[in-house]
């Protein structure tokens, strides 16, 4: 397993994440709607709106997963926040970065992951909107467009969030 390196802007990224005042807050329909739609439109059993904190990935919204967080060191989302584009793993069991990851070898038995990085208003990547499947698969052009459009909606929602109480 290869844990993701920390982004170069990690301190600023964490400050931007905390400024949103979303960590450890109750579920909200505006975020749950995005996760449900992602799962439905992309045909995956799991969809998450994930916020990547210093030591964990915390799920602001989740479909198909009971856990509310997992350690950052085993997260797929920690890799996804390093780039601007979608991060796709078609078969985690054959990817050397993830093949021995406990999220692959045990519950929820991740095989496919696609994560769209989410940005705080200042542009720092603070999490992902991601879809997960228990079987390997690819993400076609239309599916990529859907996930990217949902990411833009999530970013617009986050932009209206900063400093709200």
pLDDT in tens, 36-52: 999 999 999 999 999 99
DSSP one-letter code for 35 = H
Cα end-to-end span (Å), the chain? 38
pLDDT mean over 12-24: 96
**Is-contact 155 61, C-beta < 8 A?**
no
71 - beta bridge partners? 56
The average confidence (pLDDT) of the chain is 95
Q: Which two tokens stand for residue 136?
A: 């390997």
The structure's pTM equals 0.94
pLDDT, residue 162, reads 55
Poorest-pLDDT segment among 27-31, 51-55, 161-165: 161-165
pLDDT, residue 58, reads 98
Tell me if residue 137 falls in helix, strand or coil: coil
pLDDT, residue 159, reads 86
CATH of 10-159 given 3.40.50.1820, 3.40.50.300, 3.30.479.30, 3.30.450.40: 3.30.450.40
**Is-contact 156 149, C-beta < 8 A?**
no
- Identify the band that residue 165 occupies on the pLDDT scale cut at 50, 70 and 90: very low
**Is-contact 56 72, C-beta < 8 A?**
yes
pLDDT single digits (tens) 78-116: 999 999 999 999 999 999 999 999 999 999 999 999 999
pLDDT, residue 161, reads 66
């Amino acid at each position: 397993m290869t844990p993701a390196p920390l982004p170069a802007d990690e301190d600023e990224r964490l400050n931007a994440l905390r400024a949103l005042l979303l960590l450890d807050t109750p579920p909200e329909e505006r975020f749950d709607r995005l996760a449900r739609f992602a799962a439905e439109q992309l045909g995956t059993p799991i969809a998450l709106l994930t916020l990547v904190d210093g030591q964990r990935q915390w799920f602001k919204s989740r479909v198909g997963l009971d856990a509310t967080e997992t350690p950052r060191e085993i997260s797929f989302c920690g890799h996804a926040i390093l780039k601007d584009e979608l991060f796709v793993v078609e078969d985690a069991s054959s990817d050397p970065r993830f093949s021995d990851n406990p999220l692959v070898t045990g519950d929820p038995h991740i095989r496919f992951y696609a994560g769209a990085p989410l940005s705080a208003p200042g542009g720092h990547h603070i999490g992902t909107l991601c879809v997960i499947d228990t079987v390997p698969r690819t993400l076609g052009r239309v599916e990529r467009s859907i996930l990217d459009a949902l990411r833009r909606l999530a970013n617009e929602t986050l932009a209206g969030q900063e400093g709200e109480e």
